Homo-oligomer: A and B are copies of this chain.
Amino acid sequence: MRLLLIEDDASLREGIRTALKSEGYTLDSLSDGLQAVHALQHEVFDLVLLDLGLPGLDGLSVLKTLRADGKATPVLILTARDAVTDRITGLDSGADDYLIKPFEITELKARIRALLRRSAGRANSQLDLGILRLDVNSQSVFFQEAPVSLTRREFALLHELAHQPGHVFTRDHLQQLLYGWDDDVESNALEVHVHHLRKKLFPGLIRTLRGVGYALDKDARP
């Protein structure tokens, strides 16, 4: 899961970063509204954390632009202003939830989980692919009804692929999913994770598209 945080207070940014990292999310952050609009137009995120009081272009405008572009990405507003009108404006402009600063990190985490669950298309957080079953809440995987223990990265990767079996995900897309922009992954880490998944499940599960990326083979059998 890849989140974008738009917040100009550097220390708050760092706090949120460390908190969310431990949850297994990939977090990219920006401090400026214009950059945010640009990023949202050119990259794909699963959820946006948006501060309303931004320098440059303010948060509400970022939100409105996002919606005007037809994106349904869930947006969680963070605001120091607790005036009712602000919340309402935010929600009317297409935000999905709001949180008033200062807030508890555990509450932030809970809200994020709720939004992601909701946007995943409803209550049960299970992904059933016949032979394979993923449970997002507990990050657990069942293969032929037997539990398989995956690490966080492995799970994140499988989860993305499982979202649309058969669809080809480019290497670039998957690398961004796992690492965001921060790191310049000049290594084959992605390939290693793919390897581990094939080993823990079965080799044919993930198909390689040479020079392009990977896809889950929905009809593959062990």
A contact set with B: CB distance below 8 Å: 22-24, 42-43, 97, 104-107, 109-111, 114, 135, 137-140, 149, 151-152, 167-170, 172, 175-176, 181, 184, 209-213, 215
Contacts and interface: CB of A to CB of B under 8 A. Distances in A.
A42 B181 contact: no
Contacts of A152: 210-212
B138 A181 contact: no
A135 B43 CA distance: 19
A213 B23 CA distance: 11
B181 A168 contact: no
A119 to B, nearest CB: 14
Contacts of A211: 22, 24, 139, 151-152
A219 to B, nearest CB: 12
Given A138-B212, A151-B211, A110 B168 contact: no
Given A42-B111, A104-B181, A181-B104, A168 B212 contact: no
A138 B111 contact: no
A186 to B, nearest CB: 9
Contacts of A42: 97, 110-111, 114
A152 B210 CA distance: 8
8 contacts: A23-B172, A106-B181, A110-B176, A135-B168, A137-B170, A138-B167, A138-B209, A151-B211
A174 B13 CA distance: 26
A65 to B, nearest CB: 16
Contacts of A176: 106, 110
Contact of A172 (B97, B110, B149): B110
A139 B110 contact: no
Given A104-B181, A181-B104, A184-B104, A213 B138 contact: yes
Leading 7 A-B pairs by shortest Cβ distance: A138-B168, A152-B211, A139-B212, A42-B114, A104-B181, A140-B168, A109-B172
Contacts of A181: 104, 106-107
Contact of A209 (B149, B167, B168): B149
